[in-house]
Amino acid sequence: MFAVTPDPTFRPRCFAIVPCAGVGERAAAGGPKQYHPVAGQALVAHTLSALARVARLDATLVVLSPSDDQFERHVPHFGGEHAWVARVGGASRAESVLNGMDELVARGAQPHDWVLVHDAARCLVEPAWVDRLMAECEDDEVGGLLALPLADTLKAGASGADGAARATTTVDRRDKWAAQTPQVFRLGLLQPALRHALADPVTAAAITDEASAIEALGHQPRLVVGNYENIKVTWPGDFALAERLLRTRA
Ligand code: CTP
Ligand code: MG
């Protein structure tokens, strides 16, 4: 029998994937929202500069649409040994992330490495929040995500006979959390989870974040309390809100 001595210098790496291949339909900004100017820069430039200040990240991969011809113009300083771009975006966010993971594998990522996924559209993320998520998940079997216990009362809604939106029921909010990004999982868990979820078009539609694909396999991602400012710029009014918040940060 051999005794396997653990290598004390072994450390899994952590790669960030930033899905940035959406069209921004709900934001109605006349183009992909990630390039809309906010506080003097394209929205995604703020996101990437926050991630660049997270020391625990070994590299960041931005996933763009195959037809993207704007990224380099809006984020001219992104690049180099630890800042990668791949034009492999898919039809859904989940597909973009899965394609991004294939790219990481082609660049040498291993199953035990961590993949931290963060929406390009969450430009208010702070390095300290990313760091806290990674620290809290470091020894977790599954991985986890930033999320907030739901504060508002939650309504199910439907379109009434008069065309107005109407509340049909109130959903018990006591065990509900609003999921944010970043979300961090081992490559060897997240890649098959997303592949499995996307194989069936019915389940694929419900996979709106990484954690939902992990849950579909029966695992329970860790919920790490996030921050109210970590909004996902989604609606037209969100650009002005993001701008106000960014301008209050020195
Ligand atoms: N995203 C992606 N590939 C897609 C769809 C979305 O990489 N096929 C990215 C977006 O660029 C964004 C993040 O996933 O950074 C979160 O998605 P969302 O806020 O829904 O952005 P959009 O899909 O662009 O917006 P909408 O749903 O309003 O069209
Ligand atoms: Mg979308």
Residue 22 CB less than 6 A away from ligand 1: yes
Let me know: does 102 contact 26? Beta carbons within 8 Å.
Answer: no
User: Domain coordinates of the chain in residue numbers?
Assistant: 14-249
Residue 21 CB less than 6 A away from ligand 1: yes
- For 156-203, the pLDDT digits (tens) are 999 999 999 999 999 999 999 999 999 999 999 999 999 999 999 998
- For 67-125, the pLDDT digits (tens) are 999 999 999 999 999 999 999 999 999 999 999 999 999 999 999 999 999 999 999 99
Which atom of ligand 1 is least distant from the CA of 92? 8
**Which residue is listed with tokens 């694929």?**
204
In this model, does residue 7 exceed pLDDT 90? no
Proximal ligand: closest to the CA of 35: 1
Proximal ligand: closest to the CA of 71: 1
Cis preceding linkage at 236, omega within 30? no
Homologous superfamily assigned to 14-249: Spore Coat Polysaccharide Biosynthesis Protein SpsA; Chain A (3.90.550.10)
* Contacts with 124 (C-beta within 8 Å, 6 or more apart), sequence order: 46, 229, 230, 231, 242, 245, 246
Best residue among 38, 93, 99 to mutate for probing ligand 1's pocket (most ligand atoms within 8 Å of CB) is 93
- For 11-53, the pLDDT digits (tens) are 899 999 999 999 999 999 999 999 999 999 999 999 999 999 9
Residue 191 CA to residue 115 CA, distance in Å, equals 9
Residue 121 CB less than 6 A away from ligand 1: yes
Residue 42: strand pairing partners: 37
Residue 87 CB less than 6 A away from ligand 1: no
pTM for this predicted structure = 0.96
Residue 138 CA to residue 135 CA, distance in Å, equals 5
Residue 179 CB less than 6 A away from ligand 1: no
CA distances 77 to 17, 84, 113, 131, Å, are 18, 12, 26, 23
